[in-house]
Chain A
Amino acid sequence: MATRGLRNTWLVLRREYLERACSRSFVLTTLLMPAFLLGTILVPAVLSGQGGSRTRRVAIVSPDEALGKSVRDRLWLESNGTYLGRVETDTTAAERARLTGELRAGKLHAYVWLDAEALKHGDIGYFTNSPSDFVGAGLIRDAVSYAIRRRRLIARGVPPEQADSMLATVRLRTVNVGASGGAQSDVLGGMLAAFGLVFLMFITLLSYGVMVMRSVMEEKGSRVVEVLLCSLTSDELMAGKIIGTGAVGLSQAAVWTVMMVLAMPSLAAALHVGTVHLATSWFVYFAVFYVLGFLLYAAMFAAVGAAFESMEDAQQWNMVIISPLVAATVLMGPGVTSPDAPVTVVASMVPLCSPLLMYTRIVSGNPPAWQIALSIAILVVTIWFTMRLCGRIYRVGILMYGKRVRFGEIVKWLRYT
Chain B
Amino acid sequence: MTNAHAASAPAAVELVSVSKSYDDVAAVTALSFAVTRGQIFSLLGPNGAGKTSTLRMMVGITMPDGGEVRLFGQPFDRRNLARVGYLPEERGLYRRMTALANLVFLGQLNGLGARQARARATAWAERLGVAQWMERKVEELSKGMQQKMQFIAAVLHEPDLLIMDEPFAGLDPVNSVQLKDVLLELKNSDRAILFSTHRMEQVEKLSDAICLLDRGRAVLSGSLREIKGRYGKRFVQIEYEGDGRLLAAHPTVESATDYGNYAELRLRPGADAQQLLREVAPRLRISRFEVMEPSLEHIFIDAVTKGDGNARA
Contacts and interface: CB of A to CB of B under 8 A. Distances in A.
B122 to A, nearest CB: 20
Given A229-B60, A230-B59, A11 B90 contact: no
Contact of A1 (B79, B86, B150): B79
Given A19-B97, A230-B61, A11 B88 contact: no
A45 interface: no
A230 B62 contact: no
Interface stretch (B104-112, B191-199, B253-261, B287-295): B104-112
B285 interface: no
B116 to A, nearest CB: 14
B94 A226 contact: no
Given A1-B79, A229-B61, A15 B92 contact: no
A233 interface: yes
A389 interface: no
A54 interface: no
Interface in A1-59: 1, 4, 8, 11-12, 15, 19
Interface residues of B, number: 28
Interface in A137-163: none
A172 interface: no
Interface string A219-239: 100111111111111000000
A239 to B, nearest CB: 14
A1 B80 CA distance: 11
A233 B78 contact: yes
Given A4-B79, A11-B105, A11-B109, A224 B62 contact: no
Contacts of B92: 222-228
A179 interface: no
Q: Considering residues A1, A218, A224, A230, which has the most beta carbons from chain B within 10 angstroms of its beta carbon? A: A230
Interface string B205-219: 000000000000000
A267 interface: no
- Band of interface residues on A: 20 to 34
Nearest to B97: A19
B179 interface: no
Given A226-B61, A399-B62, A8 B94 contact: no
Consensus secondary structure, chain A interface: helix
Contact of B105 (A15, A219, A226, A230): A15
A399 B81 CA distance: 19
Contacts of B220: none
B18 interface: no
B210 to A, nearest CB: 23
Contacts of B109: 8, 11-12, 228, 231-232
A230 B93 contact: no
A227 B62 contact: no
A11 B108 contact: yes
A233 B60 CA distance: 9
Contacts of A8: 109
Given A222-B94, A222-B95, A231-B106, 7 more contacts: A1-B79, A223-B90, A224-B92, A226-B90, A227-B92, A228-B109, A230-B84
Interface of B: 56, 59-62, 78-79, 81-82, 84, 86, 88, 90-97, 105-106, 108-111, 150, 153
13 contacts: A8-B109, A11-B109, A19-B97, A218-B94, A222-B91, A222-B94, A223-B92, A224-B94, A226-B61, A227-B86, A228-B109, A231-B81, A231-B109
Interface of A: 1, 4, 8, 11-12, 15, 19, 218-219, 222-233, 399
